[in-house]
Structure 1
Amino acid sequence: MMMSRKIAAGSAAIVGALIATASAHADEPRMLKELSPDGGGACFSRVYDASHLKAHPHQKVARIFFYHGPDPVSRPSEDPTDGLGTAGYNGFMATTVRGASKPEWVGGWCNVSGETGEKAAIHCGMECDRTMAELSLDAKGRLKVDAFDRDIYLDIGAEDELGTAEYERQALGTDDNGFLLERRPAADCKAEFARIAPANPALGDPLRIRLKPDQPFCFGRDYSAEHLASHPEQVTQTIRVFRGAAQVASFAAQGKAGDWPNGADLVVAMTTRKGDAKATQTYSCQGEADQWRCVAIVATGVASCDLSEKEIYLRRGANGTMMLANPKESLPLTDLCQAGGDTKSDDKVFRLEAMPQSACSQ
C-alpha cells in the first residue's frame, strides 16, 4: 500500500503514517533574482489581526507565508538524495485558517512568465498542471499573491466528490485571494513551516544514520502472556528484524555505500502463540522519505508466487526503537503466497527494541 506525498498537511493513524511516502528527488531549486536578488531564501508573509478578519467574514486565511528557496518542510530522511530539494520545488506557501492550530502547505515550481525585472509576473505551478499562485512585486517590494484557488489543498474534482456543503467547509473562503505580503527574514518562514510537523528530538537520527551498512543489527520484542491476553487478536509471540553477517557481506559485494539503505537485505523471524516453528522471511529494502520500504524476496530458483506486493515498512521510533508496519499479509505469520488482503489482527504495528546480535541468530 503506497501513498504519494500529499503536499497539504494532514493527520493519519499510525499505520498510515508509517506507509505514507514523500518523493524527494535531486533537483536543486532555481532561484529567481526577482524574489531573491542575493540568491538566498526569500520570505514574505502577512498575519491578519482580529479587526481585519471581522471586516472580511469570507476570508478564512488568518496567516499566510510564502518562501522561495530550498524545501523548508522536509526532515532528514532515509532517501539518499535527501537535502537536494523536493522535485525541484522553489516556492512554498503555508496558510493557517481561523481556529486552526497549524498551517497547511503546498509546494511548486515558480518561474518568470512575463517581462523580467522588479514587476515581473511569476507563475507558480504544481503537479497535474495546477496553479499554486500568480505572483508579482509592487513598487514597495511587497508580494502580491493572485490565482490562489479555494481548493488548493483539495484533490481535483473535490467539489463534485464532496458535495457543496462539505466542499464549502473544507475549501478556503471566497475572499482568500489577492493577498499582499511583506518581505520578512527567511528565518520567519522557516519557523512558520516548522509548525506543520515539529521535529521530535526523541526520534534522533534516521535509520540510515543509526544503522551502518557494514554493521549487523538486531531489533525485536518478546510479548508476555499478560500482553497477549490483553490483545487476543495478536498472533505474534516473538519477532526479530535483523541484518546478520550474510546480509552485511551481500551489501558489501553488490551495494553502494552512498546509496544506503537502498539494496539492503534484512531478515524477519517470528514465532506465534499457536506454537508453530520459527518462520523467517528475507526482504530487500529501499529508502523512501522517512522510512524503509522492504519487499519480500525468495532464493533464486525457488518456485514462488509474485512477492512484489508483499511489503513491510520500517521507521525510527522514539528513544532508539524501531517501528515496523505490516499493512498487509507481509510477515511470515503464514505462507505469503497463500495470504492475501489486509492484516485483520493486531499484527500491524510493532515497536521493537535494540537487542544483542545473539538474540537474532538464525
Structure 2
Amino acid sequence: MKLSSFVVLAVAACAGALSTAQAQEAAGKAQAAAFDKRMFAGPLGAKSLACFVRRYDANHLAQHPKQKVSAMKLLVEAKTVPQDKTINYSFRVGIQYRDRPGNFDSGGYCNHALPTKAGRVTAYECGVDCEGGGLTVALSNDNKSATARIGRIMVSDRSKPDAEPAEMQTDGSDDKVFRVDRAEASECAELVTDRNSPPSATSDRLQVMGLK
C-alpha cells in the first residue's frame, strides 16, 4: 500500500513538473513572438526585414575620439520555413571606419536571448560562423531604434570577397555599443544577400516602421 501511494505521488509530481515546463515553454514562445512583432513591425511573413542605420557626425566623433566606426547599417531578417514549422533568424552588419576607406560587413545567425527575470524576451543573440564573434541586438522601448552590443566580430572588405576576414577595428569601449535608428528597408539593400532572387508580394514583405 505504501509503495503504491509513493508511486502515485511520484507520478503526480512528474506530471506537475511537466505541466510547469510546458507552461514555461509556451510563455517563452509567446514572449519571443511578441519581440518579433516589435522588431519587424507586425506579424512575420514568409520573409521579414528590419533595417537600422546610423551615420555619426563630426560632433559625435569629436566627443568620442576613440570610436573607429563612422557609420553602421544593421539588417535583421526572419524567414519562415513552413515545412519545418520553424523561423530562421539572421543578421548582416555593414560598417565604415573614420580613418580607413572602404565598406566592411559581417553576418550570421540569431536566436532569441533568454528571457529576463521579468519573463520578457528583449534581444537576439547573434553569432558569426567559425568563431567569428557576434553581437546582441536589442530594441528601444518605442521600437524606433536598436542597440547593437559587440564583443568581437570578424568583418570582410566588401571590395575583396576572396580576402580573409579580419577582426573589427576597435579602440576601447567607444566601439562596443551602437545605437542605430530604424530606417526604410531600401537603406539596407546592399546587405541583402539574396537581392538577385525574384521578388514576391507575399514572400518578400519589407516591414518597416518609425521611419526617419
> TM-score range with shorter-chain normalisation?
0.5 to 0.7
Query: Who wins on radius of gyration, i.e. which is larger?
Result: 1
* 1:143 aligned residue: 146
* 1:46 aligned residue: 54
* 1:178 aligned residue: 177
* 1:121 aligned residue: 123
8 Å Cα contact 1:34/1:120 also seen in 2: no
Question: Percent identity, aligned pairs only?
Answer: 27
For 1:47, give the aligned amino acid: R
* Alignment size in residue pairs: 136
1:62 maps to which of 47, 57, 70: 70
1:96-124 superposed Cα distances (whole Å, 9 cap, x missing partner) = 11144432111111111123998612100
Aligned-partner SS, 2:175: coil
Provide closer, same or farther for how the CA distance between residues 125 and 33 of structure 1 changes in structure 2, counting only shifts above 3 A: farther
Aligned-partner SS, 1:188: helix
Provide closer, same or farther for how the CA distance between residues 143 and 115 of structure 1 changes in structure 2, counting only shifts above 3 A: same
What's the offset of the Cα at 1:190? 1.1
Task: Give the gaps of 5 or more residues in structure 2.
Answer: 1-34, 80-87, 157-165, 197-212
**Larger strand proportion of the pair:** 2
1:309-357 superposed Cα distances (whole Å, 9 cap, x missing partner) = xxxxxxxxxxxxxxxxxxxxxxxxxxxxxxxxxxxxxxxxxxxxxxxxx
* 2:189 aligned residue: 190
What's the offset of the Cα at 1:150? 4.6
Provide closer, same or farther for how the CA distance between residues 100 and 89 of structure 1 changes in structure 2, counting only shifts above 3 A: farther
What's the offset of the Cα at 1:149? 3.2
For 2:105, give the aligned amino acid: W
Q: What pairs with 1:1-362 in structure 2 (closer than 5 Å)?
A: 32-38=36-42, 39=44, 40-69=48-77, 90-115=90-115, 120-141=122-143, 142-146=145-149, 148-150=150-152, 152-153=154-155, 171-174=169-172, 175-191=174-190, 193=191
Provide closer, same or farther for how the CA distance between residues 118 and 188 of structure 1 changes in structure 2, counting only shifts above 3 A: farther
Q: 1:138 and 1:150 mapped to 2: Cα distance?
A: 22
Q: 2:97 and 2:105 mapped to 1: Cα distance?
A: 11
Higher relative contact order (CA 8 A, sep 6+): 2
What's the offset of the Cα at 1:54? 1.1
Ranges of 4+ aligned residues in structure 1 off by more than 4 Å: 116-119
Q: 2:91 and 2:184 mapped to 1: Cα distance?
A: 16
8 Å Cα contact 2:133/2:153 also seen in 1: no
1:3-58 superposed Cα distances (whole Å, 9 cap, x missing partner) = xxxxxxxxxxxxxxxxxxxxxxxxxxxx9434214332100111100011111111
**Larger helix proportion of the pair:** 2
Aligned-partner SS, 2:37: coil
Q: 1:136 and 1:150 mapped to 2: Cα distance?
A: 17
Aligned-partner SS, 2:40: coil
8 Å Cα contact 2:109/2:126 also seen in 1: yes
What's the offset of the Cα at 1:125? 1.1
Aligned-partner SS, 1:110: strand
Task: Give the gaps of 5 or more residues in structure 1.
Answer: 1-30, 72-87, 155-166, 195-204, 206-362
For 2:102, give the aligned amino acid: K
Aligned-partner SS, 1:45: strand
For 2:171, give the aligned amino acid: G
Q: TM-score, normalised by structure 2?
A: 0.53
Q: 1:91 and 1:176 mapped to 2: Cα distance?
A: 18
Q: 2:58 and 2:146 mapped to 1: Cα distance?
A: 22
Aligned-partner SS, 1:145: strand
